[in-house]
């Protein structure tokens, strides 16, 4: 049994789980030698061995720096970037309008994206790659990508740090670029990327950044499509809305490993794929605004939930816009959507439109419709018998009972 396994055994016995097997490795010789504490290390290893049982050895494959190790300068050259500091590579590209991204070109990025933002806002499309997905103080953002729109052109900047020591410089560059933006756009950035960057600033003792307005497309996508799609990951959004199929993509979950492998071995192929992955994520973000804006205008035509679209509109532009959207999709609405529309009509006193909706739903026994009709006949029409017919079908409860009693009282009073 190797040392690693034996430690795991000990940890299991002591009531805790063994650590998940990592995929990185380090050169054990350089570790001991560099510290100049080889003897003490041997002793500690021996003592841990003793606790775990007989035998010695370690389980991790020793992998020395590969001959193909890519130094940062070389990596910067391969990525078509430049070294901002010895540990930070900056990529800065003006993307041509004709650049194809799925079935769109980047020219689409400057099209209107109301209700998400006005085209005169200084937009920043942001995405990070990190050393872990769990969060917490030990999770570092090693790559930050930010796209801006200048004169309608997409400018994509990315900062990649090739060592932990580069984090301060990376954040400095990112914050300088962020200060030019007054509206950020992300996918799940509200809960993940931006809090993480705030944590990293604190770890680096940097001041907090100004809070910009923020559109996180995860939430609109969920409202519109969660009923119809298997999941709402960005990959799914790209496939279904942008017509983008990333053949050679590195799964996002592999990114932490790719960076650590670069740190440990100097091999950069996987890390270069992470940069391309981040590029694609951000280019998708630049297109999502105009694309989702058109989905909002014609939700049913895009397979989106009309009610979801109306909820978004209500939040972004107010109840009137939401009502108009519902009206234009009257015949595609779910019962909940129809009730909502009927509520809006009642609020405006348009009972002629609301009542048929309620009546159709009341036939199916929908409680809210029954109650609305009972109220309508009681208060608007003062037709207490009709009102009582509807009230009598309500599920029994204190409110229904009170209504029925009141209506019966009124009927009796009229009869007298």
Partner 1 sequence: MTEPARVLPEDSVPELSAEPQGGEAGARRLVERIKERYAKRITGELVLPARPAQYADLPVDLDPAIAGALRSRGVEQLYSHQREAWDQIRAGRHTVVVTPTASGKTLCYNLPVLQAARENKAKALYLFPTKALSQDQVAELMELNEAGDLGVRAYTFDGDTPGDARKAVRTRGDIVVTNPDMLHQGVLPHHTKWAQFFESLQYVVIDETHTYRGVFGSHVANVMRRLRRICRFYGADPVFIMSSATIANPEELASGLVGEPVTAITESGAPAGERHLLLWNPPVVNADLGIRASARSQVTRIARMALRGKLTTIIFARTRLMVEVITRYMKDVFDNDPRKASRVAAYRGGYLPNERRQTEKALRSGNVDCVIATSALELGVDIGSLDVCLLTGYPGTIASTWQRLGRAGRRNRPSLGVLVASSDPLDQYIIRNPEFFLGQSPEQARIAPDQLLILLDHVRCAAFELPFRKGETFGGEDLESLLAYLEEQGVLHRESDTWHWTEDSYPAQSVSLRSVAEGNFVVVDTTDGQQQIIAEVDFSSAAETLYEGAIYLVQAVPYQVERLDWTGRKAFVTRTRADYYTDAIDYTRLKILDGFERSPAGQGEAARGEVHIVRRIPGYKKIRYYTHENIGYGNIHLPDQEMHTTAVWWQMAPEALEQRFASRHEALDGFLGAAYAMHHVAALVVMSEPQDLGRAVGDGDARWFATVGANGRGQLRTLDGGECDPEQEGRFRPAVFLYDHYPGGVGLSAPLFDARQRVIGDALTLIRQCDCAHGCPGCIGPILASDEVRGFSPKQAAITVLEGLESHGSA
Positions that interact with partner 1 (CB under 8 A): 4, 7, 9-11, 13-20, 22-26, 28, 31-32, 34-35, 37, 40-41, 43-45, 47-48, 50-54, 58, 60, 131-138, 140, 163-165, 195, 198-200, 202-203, 256-257, 260, 263-264
Distance in Å, CB of 225 to partner 1, minimum? 25
- Give how far Cα 365 sits from Cα of 236, 248, 361, Å: 38, 53, 7
113 near 119, Cβ under 8 Å?
yes
Alpha helices (runs of H) in 53-95, residue ranges in sequence order? 72-78
Distance in Å, CB of 23 to partner 1, minimum? 8
Distance in Å, CB of 160 to partner 1, minimum? 16
Looking at the Cβ atoms of 65 and 301, the one nearer to partner 1 is 65
CA 72-74-80 angle, to 5 degrees, is 100
Quote the distance between the C-alpha of residue 364 and its chain's center.
38
Distance (Å, whole) CA 52 – CA 280: 48
Distance in Å, CB of 246 to partner 1, minimum? 22
- What counts of helices (H) and strands (E) characterise the chain? 17, 9
Distance (Å, whole) CA 185 – CA 53: 55
Locus of tokens 């015949």: 331
Looking at the Cβ atoms of 35 and 179, the one nearer to partner 1 is 35
Looking at the Cβ atoms of 164 and 382, the one nearer to partner 1 is 164
Distance in Å, CB of 252 to partner 1, minimum? 12
Locus of tokens 């790209």: 238
CA-based nearest residue to 268, from 95, 74, 102, 84: 74
Distance (Å, whole) CA 75 – CA 403: 76
Looking at the Cβ atoms of 32 and 303, the one nearer to partner 1 is 32
Looking at the Cβ atoms of 88 and 309, the one nearer to partner 1 is 88
Looking at the Cβ atoms of 1 and 336, the one nearer to partner 1 is 1
Looking at the Cβ atoms of 27 and 182, the one nearer to partner 1 is 27
Distance in Å, CB of 189 to partner 1, minimum? 17
Distance in Å, CB of 219 to partner 1, minimum? 16
Q: Is 43 left (phi over 0), alpha (psi -120 to 50) or beta?
A: alpha
């Amino acid at each position: 049994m190797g040392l690693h396994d034996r430690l795991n055994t000990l940890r299991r016995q002591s009531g805790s789980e063994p650590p998940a097997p990592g995929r990185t490795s380090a050169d054990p010789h350089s570790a001991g030698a560099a510290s100049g504490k080889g003897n003490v290390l041997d002793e500690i290893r021996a003592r841990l061995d003793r606790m775990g049982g007989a035998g010695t050895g370690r389980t991790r494959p020793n992998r020395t720096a590969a001959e193909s190790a890519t130094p940062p300068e070389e990596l910067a050259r391969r990525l078509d970037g430049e070294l901002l500091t010895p540990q930070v590579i900056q990529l800065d590209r003006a993307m041509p309008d004709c650049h194809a991204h799925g079935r769109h070109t980047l020219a689409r990025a400057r099209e209107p994206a109301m209700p998400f933002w006005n085209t005169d806002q200084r937009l920043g499309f942001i995405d990070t790659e990190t050393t872990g997905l769990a969060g917490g103080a030990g999770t570092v953002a090693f790559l930050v990508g930010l796209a801006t729109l200048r004169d309608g052109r997409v400018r994509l900047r990315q900062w990649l740090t090739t060592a932990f020591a580069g984090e301060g410089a990376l954040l400095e560059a990112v914050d300088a670029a962020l200060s030019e933006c007054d509206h950020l756009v992300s996918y799940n950035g509200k809960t993940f990327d931006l809090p993480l960057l705030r944590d990293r600033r604190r770890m680096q003792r940097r001041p907090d950044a100004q809070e910009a307005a923020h559109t996180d497309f995860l939430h609109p996508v969920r409202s519109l499509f969660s009923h119809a799609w298997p999941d709402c990951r960005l990959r799914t959004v790209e496939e279904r809305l942008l017509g983008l199929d990333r053949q050679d993509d590195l799964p996002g979950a592999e990114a932490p490993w790719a960076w650590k492998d670069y740190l440990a071995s100097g091999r950069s192929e996987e890390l270069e794929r992470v940069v391309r992955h981040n590029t694609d994520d951000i280019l998708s973000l630049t297109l999502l605004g105009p694309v989702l804006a058109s989905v909002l205008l014609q939700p049913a035509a895009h397979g989106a939930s009309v009610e979801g679209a109306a909820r978004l509109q209500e939040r972004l532009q107010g109840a009137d816009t939401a009502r108009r959207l519902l009206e234009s999709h009257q015949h595609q609405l779910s019962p909940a959507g129809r009730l909502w529309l009927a509520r809006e009509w009642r609020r405006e006193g348009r009972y002629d439109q609301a009542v048929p909706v309620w009546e159709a739903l009341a036939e199916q026994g929908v409680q809210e419709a029954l109650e609305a009709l009972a109220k309508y006949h009681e208060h608007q029409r003062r037709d207490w018998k009709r009102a009582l017919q509807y009230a009598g079908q309500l599920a029994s409860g204190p409110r229904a009972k009170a209504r029925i009693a009141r209506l019966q009282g009124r009927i009796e009073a009229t009869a007298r």
